[in-house]
Amino acid sequence: MQEMDMLNRLFRDEPINEDSLQQMKMGIMNQILAKPMDFQAKILRTQRRKWGLLLLALFLFAGIGFFSLIWFEGNWLVREYINILSAFMEDVKAFGRLRVGLELLWQQYVWSFLGIAFSWVLFDGIHHKMFIKD
């Protein structure tokens, strides 16, 4: 009550006793020091909240859009899915032949590739040990 009276006098431009004003300042400083405000944490919390709301709105919009697409164009989507799946199965057959060819090449040339890679790693390591000085 005394602080409110003092604040009322302060805003009415009435003179205030210097000791009372000093006590009020000390009381305010004690309150600030007892519960300091972490502004960086508040800023980070606000930014996280903003991005969280944006992400929530994005998910909500995507969900409503996907639901609308299925609701209104469901039959067309099923037909297109079947067409894409059949085309994919044709591609899988072609990839199967390609895979057999790659396996044949791998069986033929794997030891050559491994020999080249091993010698590269070995000689590169020797080269760096000879020229790096501590």
The reply to whether 112 and 62 lie within a common domain is: yes
Q: What is the pLDDT of residue 62?
A: 93
* 17 and 67 fall within a common domain: no
Q: Same structural domain for residues 8 and 59? A: no
pTM: 0.39
Please check whether residues 120 and 58 belong to one and the same domain.
yes
Report the pLDDT value the prediction gives residue 55, as an integer from 0 to 100: 93
- Is the same domain home to 32 and 46? no
pLDDT of residue 54: 94
Residues 5 and 62 in one domain: no
Residues 30 and 54 in one domain: no
Number of domains in the chain: 2
Given this model, what pLDDT does residue 58 score? 95
pLDDT tens-digit profile, the chain (134 residues): 566 776 776 677 667 778 877 888 888 888 888 888 888 989 999 999 999 999 999 999 999 988 888 888 878 877 888 888 788 777 777 777 777 887 888 788 888 888 888 888 888 877 776 665 54
Same domain, 66 and 12: no
| Cα end-to-end span (Å), the chain | 75
**CA dist list (Å): 10 to 4, 5, 28, 31:** 10, 9, 15, 20
Q: What is the pLDDT of residue 64?
A: 93
Q: Are 24 and 3 in contact (CB under 8 A)?
A: yes
Both 91 and 71 in one domain: the answer is yes
Could you tell me how far CA 7 lies from the centroid of its own chain? 48
On whether both 14 and 27 belong to a single domain, the answer is yes
Domain that holds residue 55: 41-131
Specify whether 114 is located in the same domain as 52.
Answer: yes
Tell me what pLDDT residue 75 has: 81
Residues 69 and 93 in one domain: yes
